[in-house]
Amino acid sequence: MATYKIIYDREACIGAGVCAAVADKVWVMNDDGKADLVGGKEENGKWVREIDESELEANKQAAEGCPAVVIEIVNKDTDEKVFPK
């Protein structure tokens, strides 16, 4: 099973909440109005979390629906960008 990496620029988040609405196991809205990546770790100013194929589709929808385009998804095995392409 492939693994993927979500890379999230929380600083640029505008708090639209699409991510939390479509992938609520991975995204939650914080009291400051921005989304948090559940289980994410900060790396070089961005938040990162690994997911597997079972979580990919919901997180692709979260990334595609984000009006600020602050969510990137990369295949860990191939380094190929899943979103944005």
Domain boundaries in the chain? 3-83
Distance of alpha carbon 34 from alpha carbon 30, whole angstroms: 6
For 25-58, what is each residue's pLDDT tens digit? Answer: 999 999 999 999 999 999 999 999 999 999 999 9
Residues in the chain: 85
Amino acid at 53: E
Structure tokens at 47: 């938040």
In this structure, the number of other CB atoms found within 10 A of the CB of residue 15 comes to: 12
* Residue 51: predicted pLDDT: 97
Q: Is the pTM of this model over 0.85?
A: yes
The CATH class, in words, for 3-83 is: alpha beta
* DSSP labels, 66-83: -TT--EEEEETTT--EEE
Structure tokens at 28: 């939650």
